[in-house]
Amino acid sequence: MRNRGRRFLDAGLSPVWVLIIINFMVFIATTISGNIIYQLGLVPASLAQRPWTLFTALFVHANFWHIFGNMVTLYFFGTFLSRLIGNSRFLIVYFVGGIIGNLVFLALGPSNAIAIGASGAVYAVAGTLVVLVPKLRVALWGVIPMPLWVLILVFFILWPFIFGFDLNIAWQAHIGGLAVGIIAGFIFRRLGRYYIR
C-alpha cells in the first residue's frame, strides 16, 4: 500500500489536487441531483439532525463560478503553502479553518440559510500565507500585480463592507477561516523556519 500511495504522490497528486478533484466530483454530483446540496450543506437550524454537514459543506458549491473561484485560489495559494509548511500542516490549516469558519457561520449567520463552499478553508490558507509571506507578489485576475497583503485586505476582508452584507455570501465563514489562518501563520512564524520576508 505504501508503494501505491507513493506512486500517486510521484505522479503529482498532491493534497491540493486531491481536494480539487473531490470538490469537482461533488459538484458534478450536485449538478445531476440538486438534493445532494441539501444533504451536505450546512443549515444551522438542522445541525443537530445533520452534524456531518459541518464538514461536508466544505465540498459543496452553488454554481460553476463559485467552485471555479475557490479552486483556482486553492490551487495557487494551497500549492505555495503546502510547499512552505508541508502537506500535513497544510491539511490541518485547511480543514480546521473550514470547520471553524462554519462554526462562526453557525454563531452569526441566519439559522435557516444554507452555507456551502470551501471559502472558509481557502481563506484560512490565504491567512496563513499573508503572515508568512506578506510581500509575495500576486496578480489579481492575472493582470494587476500587488503584494499578497493588499489582495487579502481589499478582497478578503473589505469586500463585504464594500459591496454589503446582503449578497448571499457567508462572510462569517470567510472571517472565521481567515482568523484561523492568521493565527496559524503566527504559530508557524514562531517556529522560525517558515517565515519569508
In a domain, 139, yes or no: yes
**Measured CA distances, 169 to 52, 83, 85, 105 (Å):** 21, 30, 30, 11
Whichever domain contains 136, its CATH number is: 1.20.1540.10
Best mean pLDDT range from 19-28, 62-71, 151-160: 19-28
pLDDT at 8: 46
Mean pLDDT of all residues in 93-102? 97
Residues facing 35 on adjacent strands: none
**Which has more pLDDT, 54 or 134?**
54
In a domain, 83, yes or no: yes
In a domain, 197, yes or no: no
Q: Are 132 and 92 in contact (CB under 8 A)?
A: no
In a domain, 196, yes or no: no
Number of domains the chain contains:
1
In a domain, 160, yes or no: yes
In a domain, 146, yes or no: yes
Parent domain of 9: 2-191
Rounded to two decimals, the pTM is 0.85
pLDDT at 11: 53
pLDDT at 169: 76
